């Protein structure tokens, strides 16, 4: 046995005990007559002491050779520490070492193994195994495990069955780009890696599995934006004989359970808002509602005056930034510059100071009197001391610009506390969205999403207005999960494929197995999927997912630690009936 205890568990109750410990040398301080070593493992740090007076001479000499990150095993006696350290779980004791065994030496690590490291992103990724020794990364991985375990326990207790669906499946042109896998045994043919187990989980419902879940890797070969990974993990769920309400309740319950178990936070019933309301009120289908700043539409009160910019705009819309009336001209100008950046794209911004005395001072005083501005304040719910910011222009674009401003203001005002959690449901998503580039409708969620029956009458005439039984769970401005009630009728599914521009032959070739399955008694069903990486990061109070993934890839899809992808042998290619085409 390499150790009797780990490095996080010894305390005053162990004093005078003989112990064996093992771990890494976090640091070593050599005062000549005395050497202190902080010994580290996953569980914590324990202080070792080598004393010229009390320690065997050979052991003492060996201790002098210890460098950072050496792997050692020691035997010794737990003694009381003179200067106790209340910040360490083992801070009341230290180990007077009698035996020292160097299990492995270590080169000097290329960055410091400390909570705050001097290593940049690139070097940390190359030596990820050293990065994982650092508490922030190690704790993120331990936290991820806890989240996954709680998810599994909660769903299992509700009778959900985790079923493993295949990774080697069939490529479908719909949606994002597939990663493909050439088949050696099936010459000239390819598997695809799943973008999600969508069709399999639906087939499990046809198969009577009733309640399915799976924590599963999914794959998308897309150009990687920051904080996206080519392989990512979903909590994938599906239920049969359910309506939207049943699904929202189950997964709201799961999320409340996670918040309670992992963060000790009890949240109220989640608000539910429609997609339309979200877009009009927050300019965004994943609103951050940790703070208010709802949009106020000002067309009726700001148009038909002499201000041409507003008069000609499709939408005039404002928000009240709390306690910002004191902003200086310079601060306001900086914000105006911010919204004019190409990433936001506004052409200008109007502001109204709501003074403490109930009067208003605006950048458009020329066109609007106090009564006018009072109405603006009413519509945007502005209070004395607030500042109203107003944008105008085409409705969709302007909402999106104001949404960006709303988030920026919240950040500047410190309203985005990562330890505050404000989940909600956004429901009634549109079934379809028009894609200008291809000139046709695309499924907003995916082609298996069912339209609301009451909107079916619009499906041929105004397809863009048809709402779907689709919903997203939103947490702190992030979509953490989304799903829908599915189509379970073959004819409706065929009609949907045709609406999405599939020929009957294409639909048959790609999804024939699913439509075929629907003919043999498909139950009503629906589900959702959570993005585990994002969920864990948000619950962990972080903005970026990378520290919650043990071995992430960089923005070119490379694993710089193992140096993958890489070239493969000519013989390997030949066996797969492919050749390079560079």
Local structure of residue 463 (DSSP, 8 states):
G
Q: Report helix, strand or coil for 35.
A: strand
Residue 198 or 284 having the CB closest to a copy of itself: 198
Annotated binding site for ATP: 220-222, 229, 479, 531-534
Burial class (CB in 10 A: 0-12, 13-18, 19+), 101: middle
Residue 22 or 344 having the CB closest to a copy of itself: 22
Long-range CB contacts for residues 412-418, cutoff 8 Å, separation at least 24: 413/291, 413/321, 413/322, 413/323, 413/324, 415/290, 415/291, 416/288, 416/290, 416/291, 416/476, 416/477, 417/290, 418/476, 418/538, 418/541, 418/542, 418/543
Crossing angle of helices 329-340 and 395-412, rounded to 10°:
130
Local structure of residue 458 (DSSP, 8 states):
G
**Contact of 278 with 424, CB cutoff 8 Å:** no
| Shortest distance (Å) from residue 262 CB to a copy of itself | 14
Residue 142 or 334 having the CB closest to a copy of itself: 142
| Shortest distance (Å) from residue 95 CB to a copy of itself | 16
| Shortest distance (Å) from residue 187 CB to a copy of itself | 6
CA neighbours closer than 13 Å in the CB half-sphere of residue 369: 1
DSSP-assigned letters across all residues of 243-270: -HHHHHHHHHHHHHHHHHHHH----PSP
Phi, psi of 256 (to 5 degrees): -65, -40
**What's the rounded Cα separation, in Å, for the pair 323 and 355?**
10
| Shortest distance (Å) from residue 514 CB to a copy of itself | 9
| Shortest distance (Å) from residue 233 CB to a copy of itself | 6
Q: Vertex 314, ends 310 and 316: CA angle to 5°? A: 50
Annotated binding site: 174, 220-222, 229, 445, 479, 486, 531-534
Residue 215 or 309 having the CB closest to a copy of itself: 215
Residue 3 or 27 having the CB closest to a copy of itself: 3
Based on its alpha-carbon atoms, the radius of gyration of the chain, rounded to whole angstroms, reads 30
Sign, CA torsion 365/366/371/372: negative
- Residue pointed to by tokens 């979509």: 479
- Go through the chain and tell me how many residues it has: 582
| Shortest distance (Å) from residue 56 CB to a copy of itself | 23
**What's the rounded Cα separation, in Å, for the pair 139 and 154?**
22
Annotated binding site for L-aspartate: 174, 220, 445, 486
**What's the rounded Cα separation, in Å, for the pair 122 and 294?**
40
| Shortest distance (Å) from residue 97 CB to a copy of itself | 17
Residue 63 or 349 having the CB closest to a copy of itself: 63
Residue 4 or 311 having the CB closest to a copy of itself: 4
Residue 164 or 505 having the CB closest to a copy of itself: 164
Q: Which of 83, 81, 105, 87 is nearest to 25 (CA)?
A: 105
| Shortest distance (Å) from residue 128 CB to a copy of itself | 7
Residue 385 or 557 having the CB closest to a copy of itself: 557
**What's the rounded Cα separation, in Å, for the pair 307 and 363?**
11
| Shortest distance (Å) from residue 535 CB to a copy of itself | 14
């Amino acid at each position: 046995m390499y150790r009797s205890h780990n490095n996080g568990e010894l305390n005053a109750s162990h004093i005078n005990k003989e112990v064996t410990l093992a771990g890494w040398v976090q640091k070593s301080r050599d005062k000549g007559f005395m050497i202190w070593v902080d010994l580290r493992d996953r569980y914590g740090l324990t202080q070792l002491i080598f004393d010229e007076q009390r320690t065997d001479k050979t052991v003492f000499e060996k201790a002098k050779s210890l460098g950072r990150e050496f792997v050692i095993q020691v035997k010794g006696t737990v003694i009381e520490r003179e200067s106790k350290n209340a910040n360490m779980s083992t801070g009341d004791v230290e180990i007077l070492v009698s035996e020292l065994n160097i299990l492995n030496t270590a080169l000097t690590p290329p960055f410091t193994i400390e909570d705050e490291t001097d290593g940049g992103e690139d070097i940390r990724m190359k030596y990820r195994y050293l990065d994982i020794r650092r508490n922030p990364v190690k704790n993120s991985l331990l936290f991820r495990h806890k989240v996954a375990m709680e998810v599994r326990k909660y769903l299992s207790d509700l009778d959900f069955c985790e079923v493993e669906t295949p990774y080697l499946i069939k490529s479908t042109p719909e949606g994002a780009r597939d990663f493909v896998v050439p088949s050696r045994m099936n010459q000239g043919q390819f598997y695809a890696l799943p973008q999600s187990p969508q069709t399999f989980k639906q087939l499990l419902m046809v198969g009577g599995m009733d309640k399915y879940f799976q924590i599963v890797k999914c794959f998308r070969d897309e150009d990687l934006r920051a904080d996206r990974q080519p392989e990512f993990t979903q909590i994938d769920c599906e239920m049969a004989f359910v309506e939207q309400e049943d699904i929202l309740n189950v997964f709201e319950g799961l999320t409340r359970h996670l918040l309670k178990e992992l963060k000790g936070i009890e949240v109220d019933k989640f608000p539910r808002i429609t997609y339309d309301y979200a877009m009009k009120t927050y300019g965004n289908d994943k609103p951050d509602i940790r703070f208010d700043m709802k949009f106020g539409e000002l067309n009726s009160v700001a148009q038909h005056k002499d201000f041409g910019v507003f008069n000609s705009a499709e939408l005039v819309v404002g928000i009240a930034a709390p306690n910002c009336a004191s902003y200086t001209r310079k601060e306001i100008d900086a914000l105006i510059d911010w919204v004019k950046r190409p990433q936001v794209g506004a052409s200008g911004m109007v502001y109204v100071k709501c003074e403490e005395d109930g009067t208003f001072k605006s950048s458009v005083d020329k066109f609007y009197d106090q009564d006018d501005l009072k109405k603006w304040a009413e519509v945007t719910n502005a209070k004395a001391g607030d500042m109203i910011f107003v944008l105008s222009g085409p409705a969709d674009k302007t909402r999106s610009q104001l949404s960006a401003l709303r988030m920026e203001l919240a950040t500047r005002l410190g309203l985005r506390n990562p330890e505050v959690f404000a989940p909600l449901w956004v429901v009634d998503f549109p079934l379809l969205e028009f894609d200008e580039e291809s000139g046709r409708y695309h499924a907003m969620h995916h082609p298996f999403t069912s339209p609301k029956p009451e909107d079916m009458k619009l499906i041929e005439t105004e397809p863009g207005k048809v709402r779907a039984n689709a919903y997203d769970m939103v947490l702190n401005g992030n979509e953490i999960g989304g799903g829908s009630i599915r189509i379970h009728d073959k004819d409706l599914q065929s009609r949907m494929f045709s609406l999405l521009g599939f020929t009957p032959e294409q639909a048959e070739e790609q999804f024939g197995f699913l439509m075929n399955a629907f003919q043999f008694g498909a139950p009503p069903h629906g589900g959702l999927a959570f993005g585990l990486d994002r969920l864990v990061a948000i619950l962990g109070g972080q903005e970026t997912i990378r520290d919650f993934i043990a071995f992430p890839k960089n923005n070119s899809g490379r694993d710089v630690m193992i140096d993958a992808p890489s070239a493969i042998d000519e013989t390997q290619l030949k066996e797969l009936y492919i050749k390079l085409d560079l």
